[in-house]
Amino acid sequence: MGNYPNTQQTNYVIDEAEMPDDGKQGKGVNCTLSLGWHAIQKYNRDGEGFQYYNFKKYFETFKKLPNIQKYYHFNFTLQNPGVVFYKDKIEDEYKSYTIRSFIFDANTLPPIISIRSLSLKRQEELYKEISPYVDIPFRDITCPKPNKIDENLSET
């Protein structure tokens, strides 16, 4: 994730216990756009904290540009909000398509997605199988000992 105007790359390492509860385990549009939004807030607007947002639901009200995969050039302007200008080749003329005909409020954020809790079984697996490979200062943060350990996973 770029953090313009800085020149460093920002990588996110997300604790499995803090993944969004959207069934995608951090691999879907909601996680990706939430990370992007966080980077924009943090590095470009001095924002704080982290939330997962349901961007998928947020964009359901926008119309999809048909055959978007065949176009390579896109343009958006302040003079034409809700309109995407697109073309296939650089020498082609731009065509326009209205993706949003309603008033857009940039201050209205998408709904927040709650974080799913790890099952006791998964907490035990992380503690037994992963924590030995985590640097000691970070073990209790990344793979803490669960409150109750399953006897099937006890030391052998």
Question: Domain locations in the chain?
Answer: 1-62+106-117, 63-99, 118-156
Minimum mean pLDDT among 26-40, 41-55, 80-94: which range? Answer: 41-55
Residues 6+ apart with CB under 8 A from 119: none
pLDDT of residue 43: 63
Q: pTM value?
A: 0.46
How far is Cα 97 from Cα 65, in angstroms, rounded to an integer? 7
Across the range 112-135, mean pLDDT stands at 87
Burial class (CB in 10 A: 0-12, 13-18, 19+), 149: middle
Minimum mean pLDDT among 7-11, 101-105, 107-111, 118-122: which range? Answer: 7-11
Cβ count within 10 A of residue 145: 14
Phi then psi for 140, rounded to 5 degrees? -70, -20
Tokens describing residue 68 = 């978007």
pLDDT of residue 50: 66
- For 130-143, how does the pLDDT look when each residue is reduced to its tens digit (9 = 90+)? 889 888 888 888 88
pLDDT of residue 156: 41
Tokens describing residue 109 = 């954020």
Collapsed DSSP state (helix, strand, coil) of residue 44: helix
Minimum mean pLDDT among 15-19, 83-87, 115-119: which range? Answer: 15-19
Instruction: With a cut of 90, say whether residue 149 has pLDDT above it.
Output: no
